[in-house]
Structure formats: C-alpha cells, structure tokens
Amino acid sequence: MPGPTIVVGWQDELDSPSRWEPLAMENQARVIAPPGVLILSLGHVPDNWPYTYQWSGVTQDASVDVARFPVLMAKVNWVQGYAHMDIDVLDAQDRAVKTLRSSTLNGQGISTVDLVGSLDPAYYRLRLRLIVGGDNAGCAAIYDWVRFVGKKDAEFLAKNPDWTKLRLAGAIDR
C-alpha cells in the first residue's frame, strides 16, 4: 500500500474488546465485539425512566505524550442516535482533574478532539470513554478504531479513515 506510515502515540484497533470496561452506571451499554469493531447499544428504557434521552459507554485508560500526539480520533462506522468520546485527565491518584469532549457524530465519520488548546504539552494519563446515546426507544454505534496522532497525520486520517499503515511510537522515535 503506497503512502505514509502513520505514527500513533496510542491506539486501539478494537481487536481486544476486553480492554474496555462498561461505565459504572445503571444504564450500561450492551457490548458486541466482532473482530475489529466495538458495537455499543442501548435498548428501550423502562417506562419510569426520568430522562428524555439515554447514554452510556465503555472506558479505558491510556498514557499519551500529548506534546507529540495531541489529536484523539475515533472512527465510527454507523450511528443510530449519537456517538462521541469523553476524556478525563487523571492526577497521580487517578482522579479526574479535567474533562474534555470530542466532536459528536450523528452518523458515520471521525470523532475528533485536538488537545493542544486544552492541555500543556506533556505526558498524561487519560481515561477515555466511548459514548453512545440517543432516543429512549434505543440507540447504537459501531466504533472501528481509536488513535492519538499528530496534527498532520490527523488531517490525513480525516481524509483517509480506512488507512491501516500504522506504527506505534517507541523509544527510538523520541
């Protein structure tokens, strides 16, 4: 495959869905994990549901060099409702000291958040949440991959979301 090799600071191609934990909430998403994707769905809520919509998701922690890889991206193949990511910046005791949110999708696409204006360039421990939400009758989203990349590579992936020529950054890249 001709073209660039994208260097990622952290990635999950969703080949091992057990890395993602359900959010600790009453309305947990159902997780279906065929190879290479993560399907999150919520069924019809109970009649006494106190809200006009529902949401839930899964979570995983990541350590990322935001100075080099400031853009978090997730490819979403299909959505009924909406999909986005929440990102908690964790302190030394694993407490969230700041929360950020990616762009929200109502259909297929790339959900993105550029952390440059929100965080100092440093190495961070982050808690990522893949979110699905929508109508109380039910909603679902299919996530394909999640990656931290540099700005130029983010521009390339936005135009080429099926690109798979990747290399995880290592000590030799520093």
pLDDT tens for each residue of the chain, 174 residues long: 678 999 999 999 999 888 999 999 989 999 999 989 999 999 999 888 898 999 999 999 999 999 999 999 999 999 999 999 999 999 999 999 999 999 999 999 999 999 999 999 999 999 999 999 999 999 999 999 999 999 999 999 999 999 999 999 974 544
Architecture of the structural domain at 6-161: Sandwich (2.60)
Q: Which long-range contacts does 103-106 make (Cβ < 8 Å, 24+ apart)? A: 105/76, 105/79, 105/141, 106/79, 106/81, 106/82
The residues facing 72 across adjacent strands are 113, 148
Residue 68: per-residue pLDDT = 96
Residue 5: per-residue pLDDT = 95
Q: How many residues does the chain have?
A: 174
How many CA atoms are closer than 13 Å to the CA of 110, on its beta-carbon side?
19
CA 31, 82, 94: angle at the middle one, nearest 5? 60
Helix (H) or strand (E) holding 149: strand 139-149
Residue 1: per-residue pLDDT = 64
Q: What is the pTM assigned to this prediction?
A: 0.94
